[in-house]
Every structure is written in C-alpha cells, then in structure tokens.
Structure 1
C-alpha cells in the first residue's frame, strides 16, 4: 500500500470520527461531570470499539451485507432510529439544569469501567458498522500483508481515541464548563439537531 492510500484512509476515517455522534457527546458529558482524566479513559474505550468494528469489517462484514442486503437496510434504519431517539431525548431535556453530582450511594466509575463504557457505546451505535462495512472497505485492499491491517487499526484507534481526548480536554476546562452551563439549552438543542440530521441522512441514503 502506498503512503497516499494510508493518507486517504486516515482522512476519510478522521472525518467519520469527528462527526457529531453518541461517542463524542458522551466524551463531552463525561468530561464535564468527571474531569479530563476520566474522559480520557472513555476515549480509549471509544477507540478500541472502533477497532472492533474495523476487525469485523476485515473478516466479512461487507460479505455479510452483500449476501443479505436487507440486513444492511435494517441496520441503517435501526441506526437512524437510535440517533433520532438520542436527538429527541437531548432536545427534550435541554432546558433542564445538569446535575453535577452523583446519585447517593453510587461510587464513581473505575478507569476500566469507563473503557468498557466507551467500547459498549461504539458497539451499540450502528453508524460505525455502516461506515466500516461500506465506505471504509472501498479504501482497504482485499489482500494485504498483516502489517498493513495493523497500521490501519493504529490509524483508527489514533483518530477515534485522539479526537475524543481533545473533546474531553475542551469540555474539562473550567471556562468551557461555565460557558456550557450558561448556554446548556442552546448547545444541547444544537447537538440534538445535528444528531437528528445525521439520523435522517442515514435513513435516506
């Protein structure tokens, strides 16, 4: 594989990683509530979850979609419904003040718990499955040495985890925290609108 091919994979996946979605929003919210270090652990899990979807694509996700195209259609509509549900929930609760305290008797999540939460968030979100099972595979050679696939997985982890670490850092800053709390209704509804647009786009394309 050429350097240009790796660069194409990098930029195509980076565009997918930075697009608003449940993982990015969860990283932002976790950092607001629990700080940068805990948001970073969540970002590691998000990166690992993306790698799991990529490995699934390497081992036949596209073939499965080709054999059973109805499965891809169902997955797309399920993903659209999921994103629209999140958008509705965010829009509905936007005016409510954000509770910055943990419920009584609940201990903070461990670092490993946050990693698993990041993985689960990625695996529960159909958007990465659609991306890795369709667009992503058009940039990946069907046959390549093992090191090529390892480099691609490194790119995926770096993009997803790295972007969400940046999100975590931004939302853990006190100035950002104050600004968010002052404009919570507006910001949550903007994010909700973006999620709704993504859901509609996914359903209609």
Structure 2
C-alpha cells in the first residue's frame, strides 16, 4: 500500500467513525449511569467487537457468514434483540427506590454491553468485508489486511474516546438527576429505533 492509500484509509476510517449510530447511543446510555469509567469500559467492549469483525474480514472468515443466509438472519435477529433489550432498559427501567437509588452499572457490565452490541451487529460484519479490501491491491498478503484492521480499530477507539470526554463533561455540567434520566431515555429510544430499523431492513 502506498502512503497516499494509507492516508485515504485513515481518513475514511475517521469519517466512518464520526457517523452517529449504535455506538454513540450506547455510550450516552452508559455514561449517564456509569460515568467516565463505565463509558471507557463500553468503548473497550465495542472495540473488541470491531476488532473481531475486522480481523475476521481480513482473514476471509466473515465471508462465510454473508454466504450463509440462515447464519446472517440468526445474527440479525440476535442484533435486534440486543438493541431492543438495552433500549428498553434505558427507556423504561426503573428502580423501586427511585432513580437516585438505582445501582450504577459496573465496568464489567459496560464492557459486556459494548462488546455484545458490536458482536451481534451483522451490518458491521458486512461493512468490514466491503471496506477493508478496497485499500489493498488484489493479491496482497493477508498481513496487509490485518494491519488495516488494527488501524481501523485504533482510529475508531480514538474517536470514541473523544466522544466519551465530551459526553462525560456535558453530563458533569448538567448535574441534575432528572436531566440525566431524560438523556438516558433518549439513548434508549434511539437504541430501540435502531433495533426496529435493523429488523425491517432486508
């Protein structure tokens, strides 16, 4: 790969990371209750999911998923259920003692939420297959795709760390529990909408 090709790849990776979607909604949800630590754990989990599909695409393994319609549909149903579950918890979840008494999510739960969201995302698998090979010449060694996969994860991580810094600072400025609860409901509604969209898309 040439330096111009590498620069184009890094720029494309950044632009793709900047598109709001499931990751941004999940980070908002986790930041409201888990704070900075919860959000960072969520980013770590999300990037494990991205790395899985990126490396699978680089090694040619995720092609098997796309070639098998049944496997793809199963993953899509799982992805829909995951989004609806996390969205419903954020939108409707309540604690008997009130919002102030609700236990904060642990870093482990944030990591699992982020990882599960991306592992169960069939669109991410399809995207990895179509995205990475565009930036290497035909017949290139497999390690070139693996390197691009690692760079994709790195760029994605840096962007989401910036998002975490912004979200946690805004939440810190707002301070009020009622406003935080509204933000959590907004993130839940977005996750449910994304789950419904994934369910109806062919």
Length-normalised TM-score, structure 2: 0.68
Structure-to-structure mapping, 1:14-93, within 5 angstroms: 14-15=15-16, 18-21=19-22, 23-32=23-32, 35-36=35-36, 39-40=39-40, 42-93=42-93
Q: How far off is 1:185 after superposition?
A: 4.0
**Unmatched segments (≥5 aa) in structure 2:** none
Q: 5+ residue gaps in structure 1?
A: none
Tell me whether 1:139 sits opposite 2:134 in the alignment: yes
Relative distance call for 1:167 and 1:68 in structure 2 (3 A) is: same
RMSD of equivalent CA atoms:
3.8
The alignment status of 1:195 with 2:195, answered yes or no, reads no
Contact 1:43 1:165 in 2 (8 A): yes
Distance 1:131 1:42, change over 3 A: same
**Number of corresponding residues:** 196
What is the rounded CA distance, in whole Å, between the counterparts of 1:69 and 1:122 in structure 2?
A: 19
Change (3 A) 1:14 1:93: farther
Report the CA distance shift for 1:44/1:77 in structure 2 as closer, same or farther (over 3 A).
closer
Distance 1:72 1:139 in 2: 23
1:97 match: 99
Cα distance change of structure 1 residues 156 and 190 upon mapping to structure 2, 3 Å threshold = same
Residue number among 151, 154, 172 corresponding to 1:155 in the alignment: 151
2:167 aligned with 1:167: no
Q: Is the 8 A contact 1:10 1:156 kept in 2?
A: no
- Given that 1:171 and 1:177 are in contact with CA atoms closer than 8 Å, whether structure 2 keeps it comes out as no
TM-score of the superposed pair, with normalisation by structure 1: 0.68
CA distance in 1, matches of 2:30, 2:161: 11
